Chains A and B, each alone.
Chain A
């Protein structure tokens, strides 16, 4: 067994716990020291010396904090206390603690005076006393502590673990007046989030960034205490690159109502994440980001209503045959919602006008950059006669839902190429026919 006892300075206690949890799951607070049991992690980290070097990070950090190592936890705490009080014990592993003074044993502290009068000043002298007498006089706790110190009894403490939900806040060194300064502080929180995700083996789907405003009122208007920003992504991730880019894009679009002094990041939604296995074949390794990352970034930059996917709809009117939906909502779905098969026809034009354009008619010939010659015979479409016509019909405007009674033609214009036009069959109260342009063949 290899136990480490560390005495971290007061403001860094949480960070030291997180760092210790990276190396071993057996981390506990005992009295004032942080205890780690690392014998099971030696092989992973390449040996005890390498582990110590990785744990402390650098020689300077190792020299800057009080620490001790021993074969059992109580010996380690005792050596740590000796070092903290100024005496310089040997830095190697102590297997035989007989010479340690008794005031370093936590269980013996209430009985120090009595033991001193008996002449017991070291651990060895206490252990030499008859066991039944010690148990009767001082209680079984001292006896079990002695056994644990010599490694004859297993030691167990309430082990620490990472919280269920990541919720960290950091105080900004100076008031942040613009979103860029928030971004800099948020990078650190994202780094902590990544460490938490790795330790808990989870991937993050949604997290929220919240900053606390410094002012209560500005220009006579009462300000809210906090402002929030939610980051969502379609696939769980442990790497922070995509979240960092999304955060940068969103922060570039938000303005702070007042200077901010605290920043808080918490996760809203996480899922257990095992990591994806990548292929070793070179041509299968895809360099670059995923599609959902592209869609999310473009949606933040240009607006979610400008990044679109088509969905088929069962309708005979050409403008209703497909519906463009925002890609952001569809990207999380494993498969596209089947909107029905497309009516596949080579006679349809590849470009469709969103609103059909009313054409001028001269001598019964529709005009669009010149007279239009019809190339095909009529294709009659009558649909949606059950939808009542909207009462107001502006000239040239087409209502969204109305009965479609149309004859479609392919027409040729000398200057605009081949077009798809239709003649609207007149309703009962109209005399003239209207021609509309709806598609362009490309």
Chain B
């Protein structure tokens, strides 16, 4: 059977992957839909779509029971935000302490100003909204997103009940509408729950911050990303304390001396 020779078709050309703008290949990260905020960690920026945290929309950070790394991960981006613009960062709620706590008391934990100021976030730019019920926390988030002066909203939702996916989706849409980043900090048991946030991370680890990105606009990250868990100055101080003390050189003894005691006592 003679082969059909089609005019203009070169069968020897190597097959190039399609580079059309609207064709997305499953192995590549998506471009960010809007502006991004650099996260302060180069290794993390390389893995986030667009090269940083989304400047508008919800990001879910799930923390494993054990070590908490919320401030360590977010202080660089919050520090750069408050340095560029004026307005407060709104904190809604607190993480839950792992100790029994009497109801009606002041919440167990509170943000400590001097430590935040040392890492770039002046405490005068904070607005802390305490609320116990999850519904009240969600309402506070929604109201804070609507305010034009607010720069970012951080919300701690330690309980699974009361945070329905529809409510979180509404928060995400509100954050997109008003152009503000919303960071939701939830327990790791919320991993199985559906969520409308386009970026979801799992934080763990004690000595090093282990990050697993299991939902993003692109393939999920299989291996954990290891970041420095502690601020540089703290880690440097503790490392210095662990090193053995340097040996001090013995003082030189002068042989010729004008002092009475320097002369050897004649036997």
Q: A294 and B114: CB pair below 8 A?
A: no
Whether B113 sits at the interface, judged by CB under 8 Å, is yes
A291-B114 in contact (CB<8A): no
Number of inter-chain CB pairs below 8 Å: 175
Contact code string A293-326 (vs B, CB < 8 Å = 1, else 0): 1110110011000111110100000100110100
Interface of A is mostly: mixed
Cα-based distance from A228 to B80 in the complex (angstroms): 47
Residue A418 interfacial (CB < 8 Å): yes
Give A344 to B114 CA distance when docked, in angstroms: 5
Q: In whole Å, how far is A145's beta carbon from the nearest beta carbon of chain B? A: 60
Are B115 and A288 closer than 8 Å at their CB atoms?
no
Asked whether A312 and B123 contact (CB < 8 A) given A306-B130, A354-B110, A415-B66, the answer is yes
**Are B114 and A321 in contact, with the CB atoms below 8 A?**
yes
Within 8 A of A (CB), among B233-255: 233-234, 237-238, 241-242
Say yes or no for B119: interface residue by CB 8 A criterion. yes
Asked if A294 meets B144 with Cβ closer than 8 Å, knowing A312-B113, A346-B234, A350-B111, the reply is yes
8 Å CB contact of B119 from A286, A289, A336, A346: A346
CA distance A405 to B39 in the complex (A): 40
A308 and B128 contacting across the interface, CB-CB below 8 Å: yes
Residue in A288, A307, A416 whose beta carbon sits within 8 Å of that of B67 in the complex: A416
| Chain A proximity of B173: nearest CB distance (Å) | 15
Tell yes or no: A440 within 8 A of B by CB. Answer: yes
- Interface residues in B, total, Cβ within 8 A: 61
A290 contacts partner chain B, Cβ-Cβ < 8 Å: yes
Complex alpha-carbon distance, A369 and B129, angstroms: 29
A374–B130 CA distance with the chains assembled, in angstroms: 33
Contact of A353 (CB < 8 Å), options: B97, B115, B147: B97
- Of the candidates B69, B124, B147, the one whose C-beta lies within 8 Å of that of A442 is B69
Residue of B nearest to A335 (CB): B124
Given known contacts A310-B123, A310-B128, A440 and B68 CB-to-CB distance under 8 angstroms:
yes
Q: Across the interface, do A354 and B107 meet the contact criterion of CB distance under 8 Å? A: yes
Within 8 A of B (CB), among A163-219: none
Is the C-beta of A376 less than 8 angstroms from some C-beta in chain B?
Answer: yes
Q: Does A45 contact B (CB under 8 A)?
A: no
Contact A322 B206 (CB under 8 A): no
Query: Which of B72, B115, B130, B206 has most chain A Cβ within 10 Å?
Result: B115
Chain B residues near A318 (CB-CB < 8 A): 112, 114
In the complex, per-residue mask of B120-133: 1 if CB is within 8 Å of any chain A CB, else 0: 00011011111100
Instruction: Give the shortest distance, in Å, between B141 (CB) and chain A (any CB).
Output: 11
Distance (whole angstroms) from the CB of A63 to the closest CB of chain B:
46
Contacts known (A343-B114, A347-B233, A354-B108); A327 close to B127, Cβ less than 8 A? yes
- B231 proximal to A (CB < 8 A): yes
Of the candidates B106, B131, B148, B241, the one whose C-beta lies within 8 Å of that of A287 is B148
Measured between beta carbons, the chain A residues less than 8 angstroms from B112 are 318, 321-322, 348-352, 439
- Establish whether residues A290 and B149, one from each chain, have CB atoms under 8 Å apart when the complex forms: yes
Tell me if B164 is interfacial: C-beta within 8 Å of chain A. Answer: no
Complex Cα spacing A365 to B14, Å: 69
Tell me, in angstroms, the Cα distance from A103 to B173 when the chains sit together.
72
A112 to chain B, nearest CB (A): 68
Q: How far is the CA of A253 from the CA of B7 in the complex (A)?
A: 81
| Contact indicator A307/B234 (Cβ below 8 Å) | no
Minimum CB distance partner of A318 in chain B? B112
Contact with B along A398-442 (1 / 0, CB 8 A): 000000000000101011111000000000000000000001111
- Interface: A61 (CB within 8 A): no
Q: What are some 11 contacts across the A-B interface (CB < 8 A)?
A: A288-B148, A302-B129, A302-B136, A309-B126, A309-B127, A310-B111, A348-B112, A351-B110, A410-B234, A417-B206, A442-B71
Interface residues of B (CB under 8 A from A): 65-72, 75, 87-88, 94-95, 97-99, 105-119, 123-124, 126-131, 136, 139-140, 143-144, 146-150, 178, 206-207, 230-234, 237-238, 241-242
